[in-house]
Amino acid sequence: MSKKKFKEKKEKREKEQKSALHKAVVRLLNDNPGRTYDFKQIAKKVGAKNKLANKEIVNTIDDLIQRNKIRLLSNGSYASIHEEETIIGTVDHVNPRFAYVVTGIEGQKDIYIKTRDLYSALHGDKVAVELFSKRSGENPEGKVAEIIERGRKRFVGRVELSKNYAFIVPDFKKIYQDFFVYPENINGAKSNDKVLFEVTRWPEGDKSPEGKVIEILGKTGENEAEIHSIMAEFDLPFRFPEQVLAESESISEEITKEEIKNRRDFRNVLTFTIDPEDAKDFDDAISFKRLENGRYEIGVHIADVTHYVRPNTILDADAYDRATSVYLVDRTVPMLPEKLSNALCSLRPHEDKLTFAAVFEMDDKARVHKEWFGRTIIHSDHRFTYENAQECIETKSGKFAEELVLLNELAIKLRKERFGKGAVNFETTEVKFKLDAKGKPLEVVPKIRKDAHKLIEEFMLLANKAVATFVFKMKSDAKNTFVYRIHDFPDPDKVKDFSLFARQFGHRINVEENTISRSLNKLMDEIEGKPEQNVLQSLAVRAMAKAKYTTDAKGHFGLAFDHYTHFTSPIRRYPDMMVHRLLQHYLDGGKPVMKNEFEEKCIHSSEREKRAADAERASIKYKQVEFMSMAADKMYNGIITGVTDFGIFVEIVETKCEGMVRLADMKDDYYELDEKNYRVIGRRRNKIYRLGDKVEVWIKKTDVDRRLIDLVFED
């Protein structure tokens, strides 16, 4: 054979091999439109056995991308060019096996994604999802095609140190993989240290993500380390920036004569505060005066924070970013520095204080005849705790007892009127902890709401409603942009499901929109003291929409108010500061402000409020687990508070602490979830565990690190 023919034959063979390789790669990806593959996976699937073959595959892949035959994704993997339907959403990594991508699109169900199809996406990441053509469950299924935005880059976890490297086990329960740390990035951390760390490299294929230690928080299990861990987990600030503190310290404490002239003077009117015993900031006070016409002038005076915190300052920018104070189990993460929250703006007794007020002229039936809004100056005569105010109300004796009793009678009438108009009466039980000097929980104590609490609540509600209604009804060329607190009607489908469940206990609920609230209140009265009370109250709350801030002038379903806002807590809530500024702007005759600007601020404030609530729950859960880790080894009475496909949540009656009985630990049968009926059923014996059932449990294990209590049923 001539050299020429040999060369031609060789080139033909190479061309055929190249074509076959092209076809193999394209066929692999096209036959699996619901999957992506990295280079190693492709090489293995098409049978590459050596470095030369790998080089050919690299060239093949590059060529196919150039010819638009396959796609290169942002995570470095490859996929079929055939476009699947792409949807944007946020990852909710439910358990180690699967996640959902929440789209927030009305009518769009969350997308089910197996963990292997998340690739490097973690809980909270914003992703693009490609839907599969087939599904095996009720929800659409898909895979992550692209990570658009990482939810966060910093996490908290426990260090596990080896000789030449370390792993960090993340605290966050919805992250199911460890983070690899090279020696140069350990930064002095030791085994069992709780640390704040930052991701330096996101995972590719089966590799772990990589990180570096930013800050050592302390030893796992120590109170400071665990609380700092929660703060870091929810991205709460540990301290105020120096510039913010400097700006707050520079604010003058002087109240000038000119300032007093611009305010309505209440310093000679009886005024007092009622707050928790351990409160450090007092942002609301009540003034009381009998009028010659037989009526009462009652003022709700709120700390005038915006007099001190001006727009376009470092202090204001920081307060906006925080948006709310956060109340963890052993400390407060304040919105404002101490100079403001505990001193300048706190309505301490026997001091002149600048306030913003809603003042009402009321009769003895609690009807409002006149109202006034504006800036005031007060001088509080007394600081009541809820406990001693309650004692004055009950005994009708003590300092200012006559005024307290009368205010309480008016509050009871306001409350009765509110429920008569359809307000929903949800009284859920909250707990607090008695801690020792090192933060160790000694006792779990239920919070009990009495008349003194409800007195303050009713007058704050009255002020909030009145301010919102006043601004909404102000006459102007265009509607005044304002910050409202709204609460939508509950989802009809959720209410229907709840009514079907309540029927199993013999209770009927009218699901018509205009009768839901009254029907729910009737149910709450019926179930008081009954075994099903806790579970039905809990499910009713879950059926409700979430309250939020918005510039849309909608009503508040739960309170049965046409218009409602937050005016009464500017020391701890930024939306109240916005309300104060807007109210004064309109009182001064100002034109409507830009709606879009304030809607963005409302969205931010709602998101920060949710973050605060999640952090507060996490701190309570930590103390509950720590408390139960020291509890006696005995059988406890419990109530089933939730059912899932992997376990049954049980609240221990004695301590109000919640744990889980894992289905895997229930060896007497194979149990399956009946989601619609809130229960699990044994396949062979048909034994049923249902939401609200009373059960007996033992503590199997407590995990303070992950804030988990494992329970087992009494045999």
Tell me how far CA of residue 49 lies from CA of 16, 43, 45, 55, in angstroms: 18, 8, 11, 11
- Average pLDDT on 648-661 reads 91
The whole model's pTM is what?
0.81
Give one DSSP letter per residue of 285-354, joined into a string.
EEEEEE-TTS-EEEEEEEE-HHHHS-TTSHHHHHHHHH-B-EE-SS-EE-SS-HIIIIIISS--TTSEEE
In the block, residue with structure tokens 């593959």: 37
Q: Is 154 exposed, middle or buried (0-12, 13-18, 19+ CB in 10 A)?
A: middle
CA gap 622, 618 in Å, rounded: 6
Q: Is 145 exposed, middle or buried (0-12, 13-18, 19+ CB in 10 A)?
A: buried
Residue 203 clears pLDDT 90, i.e. is over it: no
**Amino acid in position 429:** T
Who's near 714: CB < 8 A, 6+ residues apart?
A: 635, 695, 696, 697, 698
Percent of the chain with pLDDT over 70: 92
Q: What does the pLDDT read at residue 390?
A: 96
Asked if residues 454 and 591 have their Cβ atoms less than 8 Å apart, the reply is no
CA gap 419, 711 in Å, rounded: 40
- Average pLDDT on 539-557 reads 88
Asked if residues 678 and 501 have their Cβ atoms less than 8 Å apart, the reply is yes
CA gap 670, 661 in Å, rounded: 14
Q: What does the pLDDT read at residue 430?
A: 76
Asked if residues 646 and 95 have their Cβ atoms less than 8 Å apart, the reply is yes
Who's near 275: CB < 8 A, 6+ residues apart?
A: 282, 383, 384, 385, 386
Tell me how far CA of residue 110 lies from CA of 137, 140, 482, in angstroms: 12, 7, 33
CA gap 95, 449 in Å, rounded: 37
- Average pLDDT on 58-76 reads 78
- Average pLDDT on 110-136 reads 86
Give the model's confidence band at 645: pLDDT under 50 very low, under 70 low, under 90 confident, else very high.
confident
Using alpha carbons, select from 680, 641, 427 the residue that is nearest to residue 539: 641
Asked if residues 232 and 156 have their Cβ atoms less than 8 Å apart, the reply is yes
Mean pLDDT lowest among 66-70, 215-219, 364-368, 433-437: 66-70
| Mean pLDDT value across the chain | 88
Residue 514 clears pLDDT 80, i.e. is over it: no
pLDDT tens-place string over residues 184-194: 999 999 999 99
Helix (H, G, I), strand (E, B), or coil: what is residue 378?
Answer: strand
Using alpha carbons, select from 558, 531, 554, 534 the residue that is nearest to residue 544: 558
* Structure-token pair, residue 590: 């100002």
Give the model's confidence band at 152: pLDDT under 50 very low, under 70 low, under 90 confident, else very high.
confident
- Average pLDDT on 217-235 reads 90
Give the model's confidence band at 510: pLDDT under 50 very low, under 70 low, under 90 confident, else very high.
confident
Using alpha carbons, select from 581, 408, 387, 603 the residue that is nearest to residue 486: 603
pLDDT tens-place string over residues 341-369: 999 999 999 999 999 999 999 999 999 99
Residue 229 clears pLDDT 80, i.e. is over it: yes
Using alpha carbons, select from 622, 526, 538 the residue that is nearest to residue 221: 622
Residue 205 clears pLDDT 80, i.e. is over it: no
Helix (H, G, I), strand (E, B), or coil: what is residue 178?
Answer: coil
Q: Domains for the chain: give ranges and CATH numbers.
A: 16-80 (1.10.10.10), 86-149 (2.40.50.140), 154-220 (2.40.50.700), 242-417 (no CATH), 631-713 (2.40.50.140)
Q: What does the pLDDT read at residue 221?
A: 85
Q: What does the pLDDT read at residue 650?
A: 93
Asked if residues 131 and 141 have their Cβ atoms less than 8 Å apart, the reply is yes
pLDDT tens-place string over residues 419-442: 888 888 776 677 788 888 888 898
Residue 1 clears pLDDT 60, i.e. is over it: no
CA gap 283, 399 in Å, rounded: 21
Selected residue with higher pLDDT from 174 and 246: 246
Instruction: Write down the H helix ranges in 178-241.
Output: 223-233
* Structure-token pair, residue 12: 């033909």
Helix (H) or strand (E) holding 530: none
Using alpha carbons, select from 689, 617, 530, 679 the residue that is nearest to residue 328: 617
The conformational region for residue 398 under phi > 0 = left, psi -120 to 50 = alpha, else beta, is left
Using alpha carbons, select from 641, 661, 663 the residue that is nearest to residue 651: 641
Hey, which bits of 663-706 come out as E strands? Answer: 671-674, 679-682, 688-690, 694-703
**Amino acid in position 105:** I
Look at the chain and count its residues: 715
Residue 232 clears pLDDT 90, i.e. is over it: no
Say how many C-beta atoms besides its own lie within 10 A of residue 429's C-beta: 11
